[in-house]
Chains A and B, each alone.
Chain A
Amino acid sequence: MDAIPPITAGADTRAPRPPRSLHRFANPGRFLRASGRVLPWLTAAAIAVLAVGLAWALALSPPDWQQGETVRIMYVHVPMAWLAMGGYLGLALASATALVWRHPLADLFARELSPVGAVVTALCLATGSLWGKPMWGTWWVWDARLTSVLVLFFLWLGHAALTRAFDEPDRGARAGAILALIGVVNLPIVKFSVDWWNTLHQPASVTRLGAPAMHVDMLYPLLVCALGFTLAFAAVVLARTRAAVMERRIRALELARARREDGGATP
């Protein structure tokens, strides 16, 4: 049995509760049980909040005084931008946890997070481009905000590719974690690019010192949409991580059976 990777060890037996709270979920059996209970509620909440938020934002909220109906792109673009950055922060935290504390689930979580993060960042870039053409007069410019978000997109893609590029999953996870942590320097650049340098992109409306520069009739639907997309993002990543844990378990069981049959054939 000692050939089985440590992640599956004790999957079926209830291990005594370790002192570190983070490491409680290093036990994949406990993680699967807890996440299996949470996931249906998370999915239902995401669908409900998104339905309310999108109906409010796309149909019921007022148009903007200068952008007219085009402003409705904001209700998708801004949550995607927040998720692209917040998700990357999550990736960095998971990578630090994996590197420092060797938490086995943190590797899997990071690996399953990055394709979702890449999709979200691509949606942010695509909606921004669609919004830029009618408002600014151009699909794309190389200003500091747009360029740094493009770099963020490449970091997501690079992490997703790098973690899958090795035959040994552990080495891929290590390389991906280092890449993710190096990429963290890009986060403050994305956030503050509109304040540090002059850009075509306007400064932040909501996350700024003082009151948001947005009327509540548009701010509240934006926040509901952001909550809905965040719940959906969390549900997708949790479901992917569960699938990855189960996949790894199946692979370990098959390895163990193959080894046992091997051992039975040649005594």
Chain B
Amino acid sequence: MTRKRRRLYILLLCALGLGSATALTLTAFQDNLVFFRSPSDIAAQPPPADRAFRLGGLVETGSVERAMGADGRPTARFRVTDGAHTITVAYTGVLPDLFREGQGVVTLGRLGPDGVFRASEVLARHDETYMPPEVADALKRAGHWNPSQGAAPPAAGWNTLDPAAAPRQPAGSRGS
């Protein structure tokens, strides 16, 4: 075995050892590496009382109630869902621009004894779809997609869509 070959094998062996060590560590810390917990995680493993954590999910359609608090700051109540479970969130403060029904959010706060999550921070989480507004309008017009109901349809259907040539449905069947 030449010295070059021996060095190569030592290098590969070290890479293998380091790689498996990292993989094992990451697997062991899997639960601690999540940025937020979903309503289903909370239902399966209720967190200890008065412990702050992050709750993430989609804002349920039709659940947002905005009001003005006594001190003049806006308040909002909405439900965060992951499909299976839902948690009501109460928040006082200005919501981010991207906040809307059907949008992903990550909220930081504490779960009260009444089951309401009192958030001190609400961050908007957007998905990975990028499209011009005209294409989004065309998809909505054609009834393919309602942003408050969930994610956009598969990209193969619209990533080359020319909004001017997009099919238009008759006015009666148009969505919101």
- Chain A residues at the B interface, C-beta cutoff of 8 Å: 62-67, 71, 74, 96, 99-102, 134-138, 141-144, 181-182, 184-185, 189, 196-200, 202-205, 208, 210-219
Determine which of A62, A67, A100, A208 lies in contact with B8 in the assembled complex, contact meaning CB atoms within 8 Å. A100
Q: In the complex, which of the residues B33, B121, B154, B156 has the most CB atoms of chain A within 10 Å of its own CB atom?
A: B33
Given contacts A71-B130, A197-B33, contact A138 B158 (CB under 8 A): no
Given contacts A71-B130, A198-B34, A214-B159, contact A141 B18 (CB under 8 A): no
B130 near A215: Cβ-Cβ < 8 Å: yes
A216 near B11: Cβ-Cβ < 8 Å: no
Q: In the complex, which of the residues A62, A134, A213 has the most CB atoms of chain B within 10 Å of its own CB atom?
A: A213
CB distance from A147 to the nearest CB of B (A): 9
Given contacts A100-B11, A144-B35, A199-B35, contact A215 B124 (CB under 8 A): no
Answer yes or no: B129 CB below 8 A from chain A CBs: yes
Determine which of A102, A138, A181, A198 lies in contact with B11 in the assembled complex, contact meaning CB atoms within 8 Å. A181
CB distance from B58 to the nearest CB of A (A): 13
B11 near A96: Cβ-Cβ < 8 Å: yes
Q: Name the residue on A nearest B134 (C-beta).
A: A62
A100 near B33: Cβ-Cβ < 8 Å: no
Interface residue SS majority, chain A: loop
User: Number of contacts between A and B (CB, 8 Å)?
Assistant: 131
CB distance from B7 to the nearest CB of A (A): 5
Tell me the complex Cα distance, A64–B124, Å: 16
**Chain A residues in 8 Å Cβ range of B125:** 136, 200, 202
Q: Name the residue on B nearest A214 (C-beta).
A: B130
Tell me the complex Cα distance, A141–B30, Å: 18
Tell me the complex Cα distance, A63–B11, Å: 48
A65 near B11: Cβ-Cβ < 8 Å: no
**Chain B residues in 8 Å Cβ range of A208:** 128
**Chain B residues in 8 Å Cβ range of A215:** 130-132, 135, 158-161
Tell me the complex Cα distance, A167–B22, Å: 33
Answer yes or no: B43 CB below 8 A from chain A CBs: no
A144 near B131: Cβ-Cβ < 8 Å: no
CB distance from A158 to the nearest CB of B (A): 16
Answer yes or no: B96 CB below 8 A from chain A CBs: yes
CB distance from A198 to the nearest CB of B (A): 5
Given contacts A136-B123, A181-B11, A216-B160, contact A100 B4 (CB under 8 A): yes
B126 near A66: Cβ-Cβ < 8 Å: yes
CB distance from B141 to the nearest CB of A (A): 13
Q: Name the residue on A nearest B97 (C-beta).
A: A134
**Chain A residues in 8 Å Cβ range of B8:** 100
Tell me the complex Cα distance, A200–B36, Å: 8
Answer yes or no: B106 CB below 8 A from chain A CBs: yes
Tell me the complex Cα distance, A215–B22, Å: 37
Determine which of A65, A196, A204 lies in contact with B133 in the assembled complex, contact meaning CB atoms within 8 Å. A65
CB distance from B105 to the nearest CB of A (A): 9
Given contacts A134-B97, A182-B18, contact A205 B11 (CB under 8 A): no
**Chain B residues in 8 Å Cβ range of A142:** 35
Answer yes or no: B116 CB below 8 A from chain A CBs: no
Q: Name the residue on A nearest B103 (C-beta).
A: A66
Nearest first, the 10 closest Cβ-Cβ pairs linking A and B are: A62-B132, A65-B136, A137-B96, A143-B35, A205-B128, A215-B131, A214-B130, A185-B22, A213-B155, A211-B155
CB distance from B21 to the nearest CB of A (A): 9
A99 near B7: Cβ-Cβ < 8 Å: yes
**Chain B residues in 8 Å Cβ range of A204:** 128
Given contacts A100-B4, A217-B132, 5 further A-B contacts (CB under 8 A): A64-B130, A66-B136, A135-B98, A214-B155, A219-B159
A216 near B22: Cβ-Cβ < 8 Å: no
